[in-house]
Structures are given as C-alpha cells and as structure tokens.
Amino acid sequence: MSTVYSGMSLGERLHAIVLPAATLTLVILAHMMRMTRAAILSVMQSPYIETAELKGLGLFRIIARHAFPNAIAPIVNVVMLNLAFLIVGVVVVEVIFVYPGMGQYLIDHVAKRDVPVVQAVGLLFAAVYIGLNMLADIIAIVTNPRLRHPK
C-alpha cells in the first residue's frame, strides 16, 4: 500500500510516492519535450527570427523575446491536454498503488454498479478536461501576439 500517513518520516513518504509520481510523470514527459522542441524549431525557421539573427541578437534573446511567445500556444495546448490526461489517468495509478482518491472511488462504485456515482465522477472528469482545454485556449490567446491582434 502506498498511502502516506501523517506519522510517516520524510524518507518513508518519499519511498511511498516515488513510483506513482514516476509513473504519472514519465508517461507524458517525452511527449511534452518532443512537442516543445518541434514548436520552437518550427518558429526558429520563420523570417522574423532570421531578421533578429541578422541584427546581431544573441540566441538566448532571440528565443526568449521572439521565438518563445510565438511557440507558446502549441506548448500550452500540449501541457493542458497532458494535465487532463493525468487527471483521468490517475484512476489507473490509484487502483494499482491502492491510493484512496477519485479514481479508486470510481472503480469501487463501478464494481457495485452504482450508476449515479459513476456518472457524477465521469461528469467531474469531463468538466475538468473541458476546463483545462478552455484554459489552454485562453492562455494561447493571451500569450501569442498573432492571436491577440487578428487581421
């Protein structure tokens, strides 16, 4: 059982959460890194990046000032979709590592055929998923200059 109790030492707590945390993190880490790299490389081939390079700006300043604000929209979308995946994917982790939580609660009530509880938890997961997607779109609009000033 991987549950953390209030009387546990720090070492015991870390030992209890390292595998579930690694499971949730490693599933999405490679995907997020690959999408971030692809977004930055796509923006780095734009004409305004070449103009900034020809002006003599340093690579860090070009990335921070010109490339990153224009590449943030797909990165934010990937991060939010992965957060939504984590919230729904935590069901599996809670069941495998016997953590008490919404996922374990859902599985227990599916086994009991308690339809209203299953519907409520499904609705809650769907609401969080929709909320994170909406937040991703809002952040993309706020951070991307091309989306803030449509032509």
Write the pLDDT tens digit of every residue in 19-38: 888 888 887 888 888 888 88
pLDDT at 82 > cutoff 60: yes
Helices (H), the chain: 10-44, 47-54, 59-62, 68-96, 102-111, 115-143, 145-148
- Count of domains for the chain: 1
> Residue 54: CA atoms inside 13 Å, Cβ hemisphere, count?
6
In a domain? residue 3? no
Q: 145 near 69, Cβ under 8 Å?
A: yes
Distance CA 131, CA 111 (A): 28
pLDDT for 119: 94
- Residue that wins the pLDDT comparison between 102 and 1: 102
Residue 103 confidence (pLDDT): 83
**pLDDT tier at 117 (50, 70, 90 boundaries)?**
very high
Residue 80 is assigned to a structural domain of this protein: yes
Among 12-16, 94-98, 146-150, which stretch is predicted with the lowest mean pLDDT? 146-150
**pTM to 2 decimals?**
0.67
Answer whether residue 1 shows pLDDT above 60: no
> What's the domain range around 82?
10-148
Residue 1 within any structural domain of the chain: no
Specify if 4 maps to a domain.
no
In the chain, what percentage of residues exceed pLDDT 90? 10
pLDDT computed for residue 28 by the predictor = 84
Q: Do the domain assignments include residue 123?
A: yes
CB-CB contact of 82 with 33 (8 Å):
no
140 located within any domain: yes
Compute how many other C-beta atoms are within 10 angstroms of the C-beta atom of residue 103. 21
Do the beta carbons of residue 32 and residue 39 sit within 8 Å? no
Instruction: Evaluate whether residue 5 is within a structural domain.
Output: no
23 within a domain of the structure (yes/no): yes
